[in-house]
Homo-oligomer: A and B are copies of this chain.
Amino acid sequence: MTRILGIDPGLLHTGWAVIDSQGATRHYVASGVILPSAKLPMAARLATIFRGVDELCATYSPDACSIEIIFVNQNPKTTLALGQARAAAIVAVANRDIDVFEYEPNKIKKALTSAGHADKDAITKMVRLLLPMAAPKSPDEADAIAIALAHSNMMRFTL
């Protein structure tokens, strides 16, 4: 069995999900959102993400962490902010010697829906179908579950 921590990083909302994966079977363990206050300075927000993910690693002892690769988009300032949030999460995981697997967004979508450009609704539907227990309360949480599920699929077919 492999316990996977999926992370959808963001400076305001960092979604996370823990699932257990064994062969074709997956079990939902937990999911949620880390919410650094927008009132805090950047450094304190990054520390909130770090501490949150560090605590998740201590609580759930994942074997692997799955996270999206960021691409430079139309707004380089947003990309930079997202990159910093992502680094805060990755550091918490890597500092505990947990392997980090990075996937391109369209590969995550494809691993779940067989379509590289599936929209948010298609992802949420697939998450509900595969893990009915999950019931994500926000898009960030649903994305984190999708990212964790994608790694469980990748493991089956590529490892």
Contacts and interface: CB of A to CB of B under 8 A. Distances in A.
Given A88-B87, A100-B41, A46 B94 contact: yes
Given A41-B100, A95-B47, A80 B88 contact: no
B102 A42 contact: yes
Interface in A49-86: 49-51, 70, 72, 76-77, 79-80, 83-86
Interface residues of A, number: 29
Contacts of A93: 43
Contacts of A94: 43-44, 46-47, 50
A85 B49 CA distance: 16
A144 interface: no
A90 interface: yes
A91 interface: yes
A88 to B, nearest CB: 5
Contact of A46 (B72, B79, B85, B90): B90
Given A41-B100, A84-B83, A102-B42, A47 B77 contact: no
